[in-house]
Each structure stands twice: as structure tokens, then as C-alpha cells.
Amino acid sequence: MTRYAAPLDDMRFALYDVLDGDNQLRALPRGESLGRELIDAVLEEAARLCEQVLAPLNQSGDAEGCRYDKATASVTTPAGFREANAQFVAGGWAGLTAPERYGGQDLPETIGAVVKEMLDSANLSWGNYPLLSAGATEALLQHGEEWQREVFLKPIVAGRWTGTMCLTEPHCGTDLGLLKTRAELAADGGYRISGTKIFITGGEHDLSENIVHLVLARLPDAPPGTRGISMFVVPKFKVARDGTVGTRNGVVCGAIEHKMGIRASATCVMNFDGAEGYLVGQPNKGLAAMFTMMNAARLAVGIQGLGLIERAYQNSLAYARERLQMRALSGAKFPEKAADPIIVHPDVRRMLLTQKSIVEAGRVMVLHAALLGDTQLRSEDPAARERAEQELSFLIPICKGLLTELANECTYDAMQILGGHGYIAEWGLEQFARDARITTIYEGTTQIQALDLLGRKVFQLQGAGLKLFLERIGSFCAEHAGDAGLAEFVTPLGRLAQQWGELTQRVGVAAAGNPDELGAAAVDYLFYSGYVTLAYFWARSVAAAHAGARDEAFKQAKLATARFFYQRILPRTEAHAAIMRAGSAALMEMPDALFG
């Protein structure tokens, strides 16, 4: 069985030392009581749940998977999942960040992000069930009517019900303008929903009393394309406006997918046949509500990538310290043993440090994004809310796209460290690699994140978020310009930030003459942006470690890991910059027929 210990010390360092997060949160409305003692108590209790309850079910849940009963159209989750969910609900975790008004604890999303990383490291499949409930909660909070929040939100926050997002259809993936699911107004003022949705996480399971589906559909008179999408709340069991729960609704699970990874997470085909539901928000305005759910889910999936890297790193590091094989190239390091542990070998250290450098900077990045989210939601200063929204909007595709892609790389490296044992199921590392693969696909593939970043967040929105983030980097570099101890980080960071702006302008000019240039540059732009973003957070981490009261071993580890990142990972930006400068010609010049 693979091991997991919540990295509480590094989580506290990222939140408190690097980001000053406790003070930021305390300065926001409803945050006055958020001292470190309270936050630490929450994190320590979450760590116990994840280490003792969820982590032990990760491997067995993957082996057993979910079971679909065609006769009853029901789904059974693996052994132990229901009991774990009962403990999760009893501990109040389902409503951790939800408003008190609806039964939640009203803690900031930043605290929720730290807890979520632990959940995902411990058991990614299990963590998918509350993830979609959080998305449904956000959509109902921002777009639902008050009676809908009272009737549907309170049971979700209490953990008695769960939520889903029903977007994708068999013929329609990312291009939601093609969706065909229909919604017709009924005599009772509600709607009747008909159509088929696929890839619905948690669409059917045995963990909750009811399942609340948020469904995208078209009204009969809807305009074509995305302008004609509306959102509806459709429960598994019918629910009246007064909250009375009735008979089974006209929505059933037609099948579950047999997947490469996250096998204990039920991925369902959902058939709606005149299912009773209610309109959420305004007619034909469902896309805005969908993006509320999608943005929350995209940051959450970035955290999934982070959690997988942490779990893979812990287990490959433990193996590298124990496995004896050959002698160090520079001579025996443990002459009393038959061979040296493989951690002495340069390439094993490369793979370990790749994981360590990504996860520690990535943790700071997602918590910075979460703090922006709390500012956007809680601040009473309209200007501060607007700035936070712009910067967060810019960072979300980077968090999602980069961390999930690097989760694939890092879980691969972890498997490689174990050699043949990494390929064997009983050691557990291959599960991390399989689970990581989906994270680059669901909630928008990497290509979709890249187009969102470059096409929408940079060009359509005139680079508002990019400008704010570059200003943040510029301020940091100016503040530490005379610091000899940080020069090795500040100097290249400033140069890359300047080049970032130049590359953005270059791609924009090229795309004005040929739109294919945007598509050709987008993925490399995302990676370039991501590596520079991580470099910024590594520079901040070194500065925070140096200025803080941590012991010398901690400071030395941060400094050495930052140096590895800057010398061995950050040069990847040079390749991505060269590819962007190359343009689209080599991609587009060959006729389609010649692909063979």
C-alpha cells in the first residue's frame, strides 16, 4: 500500500510565510476570527481524515471500481466509500466553505483549497464526489433563486445530497453550442428535460439520499449556438418548491464508463426523459452559470494535479532512500551496505527534484489563486474585487493546464524511479499515473485551457490579468533588486517577465494577420507562462524562507530546490519561446489529404 502524510509544514509555509495568507484572510469581511490556531486545527483534522480514512481506500477502491446494475440503473461505490463519506459529512466537511446562512461553516476558499489538496492526494476518485457538489453550490449561490438555495443548497451543504454538472453530450464535447438536450415549459411552471449527457461524474452512486443535476439544455425558442443555452436544476428524486421530496424523477443512469484511471469515481451516461426541473437564472443565459461552475472546477482540477504530484513524490522518495542498486559514480556513499541507495544517482535525483520543485511552487500558486478568489468574493472594495477577478481569471487556465500536465510528467517520473516495481499494481505508483491522465482532459483539455488563456484572457480582455501579474513580478524584482542573496533568481525572473510581454505582443501581431497563429502558439504560451509563474513563486519562497525563523535545514532545502528549478526546469521556456517564434507555417502548410 502506498503511504501518505499530509505535508502540513510546507502547507503552512506556503500559506503563512510566503503569502501572508492568514493576515490577508483576517482583513476580509467575516475573517476576523481566522487566526493561525483555528486554521491549523482545521488542517490537522483534515489531515487525520485523509491519512487514516481516505488514503487506505485509494488502492482498494481502484481495484474494485464502481459497479453498475442494469436492472435497477444503480451504481455501487467500492467498499468503504459510504462509511468514509459518512465520516466526511459528520465532520461538517461538505459545508466547509459554504455560507452559514445555508448551514455551512463559511471558511474561506483558501482553507478549502488546502483541504482539497489533501483529499486529492489521499484518494482522488473519492474526492471527485464532493468536488462536483462544490461546483453546484457555487452556481446556485450566484445564479439561483432564493427558494432554490433553500430547497437544494441546504441539503448539499449538509452533505445529505450531492451535485453534478451535466454538460457534455455524445456528439458535443467542448463545443456546447451543438448541444441538443431539450427543455419544455410545463403547466406547473417547471420544465421537462429530455436528452442524453455523457461523462457525468457522480451522476449516480450510493453515497447520498438525492443527487442534484445542473443541466444545460435548450428552450424551444432558443437562438442557435451558445446564445441559446439555459441551465436547469434537475433532482434524481422530484423536489417540490417547498422542499418536499417525491418519487423518482425521469433521469436514470444508462451506463458507467470503464476507464483508464479514477475507477472508483462513477462516470455516468445520464438519460433525461421528461425529467422535472427548474430554470436556474435567466432563459438563454445558462453559459454564465456554467462558467461559474467551470471556473471553480478548473482550479479544483489543478489542485488534483498538485495532490497527485505530492503523493507520487512521497512514495518515490521513500523508495529511492531504501532501494539499493549500484554504487554512486563518484564512489561509494554507504560502503557498509551491499550497494548505495538509488537516491545518490544523478538522474534519480533529477526526477525527485522535478517533483519536489513543481509541487512546492505549485502549492504557492494555487493558494495565491485561492486568496484572489476570496478577495473577489468577500472584499467590500469594488476596485479590489475587480483586480482580483482579473488576475484570478488569468491564472485559472495556468493552474489547471500546467499542473495537470506536470502531474503526468511527475507521476511518470515516480514510476520510473521504482523501475519494474513502478509498473506493478501492488506498489501503487501506476495508479497515480493512470489517475493523472484524466486531469488534462476533463473540465477542458490542455488545448482548451491554452486557447482560453491566450485567446480570451490575454487578447479579448486586453491582457488585464497579465498586466496585473507582470506588475506583481515587477514590484517583487524592484523590491529585491539590491539583494545579493536573491540575485540568481531576481535577474532571470525580470528578464523572462520582459520577454513574456514581448512574446505576447509578437503572437498578437501575427494572429491579427493570420488567426491560425494564435492556435499554433497557445499551448507553448501556456507552458511558458506557467514556468515563469512558478519561477516567481519560487523566488518569493526563497525570500520568505530567508527572512523567516525556520531552521537552516529548511532554508537550505528551499534554496537548493529553487536553484534546481531555475537551472533545470526554467530553461524549458527557451524551447517554448522558440516554437512560438516559429509560427504556424510548419503546422498548416501540408494539405489534409497528405496526412495519409
Catalytic center residues:
443
Cell of 437: 491522465
Ordered alpha helix ranges (H), 237-276: none
| Degrees, nearest 5: CA angle 178-184-189 | 140
Diameter of the chain measured on Cα atoms: 84
Distances (CA, A) of 580 to 261, 325, 463, 469, 504: 33, 42, 18, 21, 10
Whether residue 329 contacts residue 345, with contact meaning beta carbons closer than 8 Å, is answered with: yes
Question: Taking the C-alpha atoms of 352, 356, 359 and 362 in order, what is their torsion angle to the nearest 10 degrees?
Answer: -120
Helix (H, G, I), strand (E, B) or coil at 140: helix
Residue type for 440, please?
A: T
What does the alpha-carbon distance between residue 91 and residue 42 come to, in Å, rounded to a whole number?
11
Q: Which residues in 444-456 are b (16+ Cβ under 10 Å) and which e?
A: bbbebbbbbbbbe
Which is it for strands 210-217 and 245-248: parallel, antiparallel or unpaired?
Answer: unpaired
What does the alpha-carbon distance between residue 90 and residue 159 come to, in Å, rounded to a whole number?
8
Would the CA dihedral through 227, 228, 232, 236 be positive or negative? negative
The residues, any chain, with a CB within 8 Å of residue 269's CB and separated by 6 or more, are 196, 197, 198, 200, 203, 253, 254, 255, 256, 257
Distances (CA, A) of 425 to 60, 84, 264, 329, 595: 11, 23, 15, 31, 38
Would the CA dihedral through 87, 91, 93, 99 be positive or negative? positive
Whether residue 352 contacts residue 312, with contact meaning beta carbons closer than 8 Å, is answered with: no
Which is it for strands 267-280 and 191-201: parallel, antiparallel or unpaired?
Answer: antiparallel
Helix (H, G, I), strand (E, B) or coil at 461: coil
What does the alpha-carbon distance between residue 394 and residue 295 come to, in Å, rounded to a whole number?
11
Quick one: 578 exposed, middle or buried, by C-beta within 10 A (0-12, 13-18, 19+)? exposed
Whether residue 425 contacts residue 63, with contact meaning beta carbons closer than 8 Å, is answered with: yes
Which is it for strands 74-76 and 67-69: parallel, antiparallel or unpaired?
Answer: antiparallel
Ordered alpha helix ranges (H), 225-285: none
Helix (H, G, I), strand (E, B) or coil at 374: helix
